Structure 1
Amino acid sequence: MPTSPRASLLLLAYLAFVSLGLPDGLLGVGWPAMRSEFGVPTEAVGVALTAGTAGYLTSSLLAGFGIARLGVGRLLAGSTLLASLALTGYALAPGLAVVVCCALVLGLGSGAVDSGLNAYAAGAFGPRHMNWLHAFFGLGVALGPLIMTGAIGAGLSWRWGYGLVAAGQLALAVAFALTVRAWRDRGPVAGRPTPPASVPVRQTLRLPAVWLGALGFGVYAAIEIGAGLWAFLLLTEGRGLGAAAAGICVSGYWVSLFVGRVVQGVIAERFGSGRVLWGSLFGLAGGAVLVALPGPAWLAVAGLAVIGFAAAPVFPLLTLTTADRVGGAHADRAIGVQIAVAGLCGALGPTAIGVLLGRTSVEALGPALVVLAVALIALQLAAIRRRPV
């Protein structure tokens, strides 16, 4: 097990994961007012989202390769400052063009923080904290709309919502800067030799386990986001559930994901990451089968709840066990690749499922999730078998 993390670093890590989720929630509530002020169509938000995704994918990939050179502390401090500046840009933006540029910068900052923190946590924190960190990301996504709603409800401009979060990010950047030295030591992992300071990049990229693991992350992201995105359509058009009830059930899916990370973090700490991870992978497949089975709405709802609870620890535990698959010397870089592929497939996977549903029927969601769940199990098996000696 990793050594116990310092309380101050653990607190900063939790706050950082909350901050990662905040901007996602701000845009959804703030966009109607932003669109009206800028005089642009509703669909123009897609340009900003595309820019943000491009920045996120780029920095999350590069961050894994830059940790050895910059150090985790400097990477987190600089990237959080970059995110704060981007959010300040949102608050001061005179038009859409500036928002798009700020979205790109925000993506660059957020991707590096996400990749850097996951790489650090994989070596320094146990499964309980790893799961709880990702649960706190969901908390940030939930708090974002409340902050923006509160600002607009108080008669303030949407710019205040971004300004408040920018101030919080700036404070977090200062905290990271003041603790740069403390982030250097992640603590040794029992039973595993200390890895060399660095290995050639080409050596990392040539490992089949790196790419098999990254594909696993991509498939997982497609399952998690795809299930949440298309569940409402299945329940209303396919299973005859009313819109209000279906909306509550979809919210329940995301709640089960949050609760699962909190609960299974404790379970993984006690019974081991490997057992919980494999149980979750097969639980995902079981939940997908329930969604795929023809039947009443409650059967699909139960399947979605199982998927949410089972999926909860998969991303954190796959990250935590990266070194077991690729070796400690390659772990930081592999995590960067994994985060980038997950971000890419988190966008492309649900889109592909949507195309499938449009060309067939909404009932194709369940079978699609079954295929993806089985593929995830197969990729995990292949990654373990191809790990370096």
Structure 2
Amino acid sequence: MLAASTVGYLTSSVIAGFSIARLGVGRLLALSTVLASVSLTGWAFAPGLLPVAGCALALGLGSGAIDSGLNAYAAGAFGPRHMNWMHAFFGLGVAVGPLIMTAALGAGLSWRWGYGLVAAGQLALAVAFASTVRAWRDRGAAGPSTAPASGQVPPAAVPVAETLRLPAVWLGALAFLLYVGVEFGAGLWAFLLLTEGRGLTAAVAGICVSGYWTSLFLGRVVQGMVAERLGSALVLRGSLVGLVVGAVLIALPGPAWLAVTGLAVVGFAAAPVFPLLTLTTADRVGARHADRAIGMQIGLAGLGGAIGPTVIGVLIARTSVEALGPALVALTLGLLALHAAATRRPVRPA
């Protein structure tokens, strides 16, 4: 199921960046949410594993396109505050999803009802997107549905090879891979570090890990407003440095509070990185290539969510749970270096 959904997510998120020019953001979102709803409905009625795997592939295709479409639109239509808030609500969705399933099971219903309820929500979103297609076009996203300014080449007319030849496109995509590896890797393995490595009880460690995700949510709400005042570039650089500092605190041998502090610093510093990296894509690659670059970034982000925690888990299995800290330090330093290389020669918006 994980492999099928990952393949679907990677495929559609990359393709979405190239197909927005033809479909428009509104139509892409409507079709993708319909596909997600159908896939979840298939899970609710699937008689066995094989149909579930097929639905997982379809759900990945829908989810990747939704992520790419929304981020491409938001990068052109929103400022730093609203971009961060949009991603903060992604975090709320991550928290609400398990609660929906828990509520269904707690009410004595089958697990199939949990997926059915979410499928209904996706269908409602699809209807909303379909009924507002014109509004998505008229809002003036960075995407190709916007009428080009005088002398500007429409993104649809830009050769794909021209986009793929830009080093900043690949550096930016790799930065997303490393970032999501840090975010998911820290969130997944911190509990093990705090219990087996630093001696905390399971209950206390669980609260600390929950605090990590809470700091990520609050950081996006707070730092979105800060970025609106100080500028995205300054807040993004500070956050990347903060990630390194937090990772070092986790890596240092010492009492549990040191690792817990580092975890909170990583969560708060990580908060604006994904939204602001997306928001500043056009600054790195040019407006004509932004939609395609964002699609590739979202695709590599999904890959990073699978690879990062896996690699860290292998390191922990072969050494000890203390490998988490050094692994996070290496990933955050790599992320800082990639961002510096990608922004060394900013591209003027086309």
Structure 2 length-normalised TM: 0.94
Change (3 A) 1:253 1:236: same
Q: CA deviation at 1:196?
A: 2.4
Within the alignment, does 1:95 sit opposite 2:48 as a pair?
yes
Q: CA deviation at 1:243?
A: 1.4
Within the alignment, does 1:145 sit opposite 2:98 as a pair?
yes
Provide the rounded CA distance (Å) in 1 between the counterparts of 2:245 and 2:139. Answer: 37
Contact 1:120/1:186, CA 8 A, preserved across alignment: no
2:306 to 334, 343, 347: 347
Q: CA deviation at 1:112?
A: 0.2
Q: CA deviation at 1:368?
A: 1.4
Contact 1:208/1:386, CA 8 A, preserved across alignment: no
2:133 to 180, 185, 190: 180
Provide the rounded CA distance (Å) in 1 between the counterparts of 2:334 and 2:54. Answer: 37
Provide the rounded CA distance (Å) in 2 between the counterparts of 1:126 and 1:370. Answer: 30
Contact 2:74/2:141, CA 8 A, preserved across alignment: no
- For structure 1, the residue ranges without an aligned partner over 5 or more in a row are 1-47
The within-5 A match list for 1:1-389 is 48-187=1-140, 194=149, 195-198=152-155, 199-388=158-347
Contact 1:89/1:99, CA 8 A, preserved across alignment: yes
Q: CA deviation at 1:387?
A: 4.1
Q: What secondary structure sits across from 2:343 in the alignment?
A: helix
Provide the rounded CA distance (Å) in 2 between the counterparts of 1:285 and 1:72. Answer: 36
> After the TM superposition, which parts of structure 1 deviate over 2 Å for at least 4 consecutive aligned residues?
185-189, 193-196, 386-389
Provide the rounded CA distance (Å) in 1 between the counterparts of 2:186 and 2:99. Answer: 24
Q: What secondary structure sits across from 1:294 in the alignment?
A: coil
Q: What secondary structure sits across from 1:173 in the alignment?
A: helix
Q: Which amino acid aligns with 1:117?
A: L
Contact 2:75/2:141, CA 8 A, preserved across alignment: no
- For structure 2, the residue ranges without an aligned partner over 5 or more in a row are 143-147
Provide the rounded CA distance (Å) in 2 between the counterparts of 1:230 and 1:171. Answer: 36
Q: CA deviation at 1:372?
A: 1.2
Q: CA deviation at 1:330?
A: 0.1
Q: Which amino acid aligns with 1:174?
A: V
Contact 2:13/2:65, CA 8 A, preserved across alignment: yes
Q: Which amino acid aligns with 2:40?
A: L
Q: Which amino acid aligns with 1:118?
A: N
Cα deviation digits, residues 43-85 of structure 1 (max 9, x gap) = xxxxx12111111111001000000111101100100111111
Q: Which amino acid aligns with 2:15?
A: L
Provide the rounded CA distance (Å) in 2 between the counterparts of 1:245 and 1:154. Answer: 29
Q: Which amino acid aligns with 1:348?
A: I
Provide the rounded CA distance (Å) in 1 between the counterparts of 2:133 and 2:176. Answer: 29
Provide the rounded CA distance (Å) in 2 between the counterparts of 1:241 and 1:121. Answer: 41
Cα deviation digits, residues 356-389 of structure 1 (max 9, x gap) = 1222222121111111111111111100124445
Change (3 A) 1:242 1:205: same
| Residue equivalent to 1:11 | none
Contact 1:51/1:101, CA 8 A, preserved across alignment: yes
Q: CA deviation at 1:150?
A: 1.3
Q: CA deviation at 1:188?
A: 7.7
Provide the rounded CA distance (Å) in 1 between the counterparts of 2:32 and 2:178. Answer: 27
Provide the rounded CA distance (Å) in 2 between the counterparts of 1:63 and 1:154. Answer: 39
Contact 1:84/1:167, CA 8 A, preserved across alignment: yes
Q: Which amino acid aligns with 1:243?
A: A
Moved more, 327-336 or 138-147: 138-147
Change (3 A) 1:136 1:373: same
Q: Which amino acid aligns with 2:299?
A: A
Q: CA deviation at 1:186?
A: 4.0
Percent identity over paired residues: 77
Change (3 A) 1:188 1:247: closer
Q: Which amino acid aligns with 1:304?
A: L
Contact 1:148/1:158, CA 8 A, preserved across alignment: yes
Q: Which amino acid aligns with 2:282?
A: A
Contact 2:73/2:141, CA 8 A, preserved across alignment: no
